[in-house]
Structure 1
Amino acid sequence: MGVAGRRQGARKTDHFKEQLMKAKPITLLLPMLLLLPALPALAGQCDDNFSKKGNALSGAEYSTSYKVAGLSVPSAIGQMRNLAIADGMDVLDESPDSGSLLLEEPANLAHKGLQVYVTAKPDGTVSMLMKTRRGAFGNADGIRSEMCKMLTQLKPGKAPVARAAVKPIEIQATALATDIERQGVENSAAIDVRFAGKVYNIKGVNKGVAGKKGAFELYFDMNPSLVPGFVPSKSRRGELRIACRMMPDQNAYALAMRNGDKMYLNATYDHYDESSYLVWLKNCRGIQ
């Protein structure tokens, strides 16, 4: 073989080595990819466990479960609580140690409140159960999709999960009053449970100022005039009212307020005084 032939053979050998080196990472990655769980299989676990019992006439039950290795009971409950809050659901009861969580999809014009029971087991299994009332129709596919959407977001973890920060809800004072009245139709004692800790950016019209320096109280007009400040508003007997306890540094805002003035406050739900039909909001601050 001549010099040219040997050079050509060397180039082929070098080219083969180069291709082999390029192929090595792919070969090494294959076993790792085989060890990773298939995402459709994980989602399928929740879908396969979904079941429906009953019917619209007698009331139906929808349930499913999902297992996450390395997930403790407190972590599971904390994660599900935060996922529910992010979806706008109310947390009615929470027991991280015993592994139970009671959620509720708030009532609206289309349906009454829908409660969802969540339980967690030490082996990482988290279950969801929703019951519908007699005469209520549910879309099984839609319910399964929403349940699995929450469950498949769970991550392994041992430590309890801190409560997620609550995003303020933009709302009119009259709309909040209507919402609270609707929620309390069946059980007024549950109002505080449903609304506890909710934060609002609430708009309305001033009905009056009470209290003292460092602890002023602003009252919302629940039946405001179409021309605030010029045409007096009318109060309805037995109507639910809303009042806001201002923060100590909000003296100027409260003292400058006159009947009929518009108010825009950041506030946190405090409690409902059933004897006076009065909802109290706390930690109130004026929003510019």
Structure 2
Amino acid sequence: MRVFSALGLIALTAAGQAQAGSCETNFSKQGSPFTGSSYRSSVALSDLSVASAINQMRATALEKKMNVLAFDAEGGSLLIEEPESFKHKPIPMIISAAQENGVTTVSMEVKLGRGALTKSDAMRDEICKMLATVKPGAAGERAAKDAEARTASAGPEKIDALAFSLKLARQSNENQSTINPRYKGKKFTVTGRAAFIMEDGDDYNVGYDIPEPGDMLIKPGPMDPHYKVSISCIMAKNQTAYALTLREGDKIALTGTFSRYDQFKHVVWLEGCVKS
């Protein structure tokens, strides 16, 4: 398995090349493909605050379309992950920053699960490339703001309702607590068919038609989740007329923002949904 570079995640910047040597020297590996592996390294920079370091790494992660699961700039901690793909499960990455005697050390750890294969040299190079994007002084803070501005203008992810449901069920089966921080606030355009249209307080709720696992053409295996994750769209106020014209079985494409996942009912709610 090739990570980062195969996915086209990170570009090495000229400003970071000066830090490559120290990062390579600090690189270490623990574990094995049989038990899971972790890869670590760090860089040290002066004229860099802890908050700026974490903000810069967060902005870089968002621009590379990574998920931000936990973020504490002042406390110097950040948890990001490369999203799941057909090649691999989500890959968590822990970023930390601490200052001592006017020098801020920024550390990065990448964790791979059991069975994941990669070369240590390749992992070292990619970790150091990402750490090299951190810049000291005002230049670093400007770079973080610019990256966040570019990220804010990104469009919604388009996905089929069944594919979304299956992905959420797999991830929930592995670790339910990661679903909300992984997706909350992200925009999706979900296509499928309407299973129901119902009043939900002052709003209208449109649910997607998703078959039960036992009714699917490909049955779940012994290690797969034996429950489905339902997807419901809470329609925006200005979409009432559209919602009232829908009928069960109609094809729909709705764009909304991920609100929350109920791990007991196995239901995802998108809010502010509009017709796409």
Scaled by the length of structure 1, the TM-score of the pair is 0.73
Q: Which structure 2 segments of 5+ residues have no match?
A: 1-13, 220-225
Change (3 A) 1:253 1:214: farther
Secondary structure at the aligned position of 2:231 is classed as strand
Matched, 1:170 2:147: no
Q: Which structure 1 segments of 5+ residues have no match?
A: 1-36, 225-232
Structure with the larger strand share: 2
For 2:15 and 2:231, the matched residues in 1 are separated by 52
Q: How many residues align?
A: 242
Contact map agreement 1:214 1:251 (CA 8 A) in 2: no
For 2:112 and 2:163, the matched residues in 1 are separated by 26
Report deviation, 1:117: 0.9
Change (3 A) 1:275 1:190: same
Q: Which residue of 2 aligns with 1:30?
A: none
Q: What does the per-residue CA deviation read over 1:205-243, in whole Å, with 9 as the maximum and x for residues that have no partner? A: 22221116961111111149xxxxxxxx99x99422100
Report deviation, 1:121: 1.9
For 2:75 and 2:48, the matched residues in 1 are separated by 14
Matches within 5 A, 1:248-287: 248-287=237-276
Greater CA drift, 121-130 or 156-165: 156-165
Matches within 5 A, 1:2-151: 40-122=17-99, 123-151=103-131
Report deviation, 1:244: 0.5
For 2:97 and 2:112, the matched residues in 1 are separated by 22
Task: Please say which structure displays the higher CA radius of gyration.
Answer: 1
Q: Which residue of 1 aligns with 2:207?
A: 219
Contact map agreement 1:213 1:251 (CA 8 A) in 2: no
Contact map agreement 2:15 2:133 (CA 8 A) in 1: no
Matches within 5 A, 1:201-212: 201-211=189-199
Change (3 A) 1:238 1:57: closer
Aligned-residue CA RMSD (Å): 3.0
For 1:157 and 1:264, the matched residues in 2 are separated by 45
Contact map agreement 1:245 1:283 (CA 8 A) in 2: yes
Contact map agreement 2:166 2:228 (CA 8 A) in 1: no
| 1:194 alignment partner AA | R
Scaled by the length of structure 2, the TM-score of the pair is 0.76
Which structure ranks higher in relative contact order (CA pairs < 8 Å, sequence separation ≥ 6)? 2
Report deviation, 1:66: 2.2
For 1:171 and 1:280, the matched residues in 2 are separated by 15
For 1:107 and 1:212, the matched residues in 2 are separated by 32
For 1:60 and 1:260, the matched residues in 2 are separated by 47
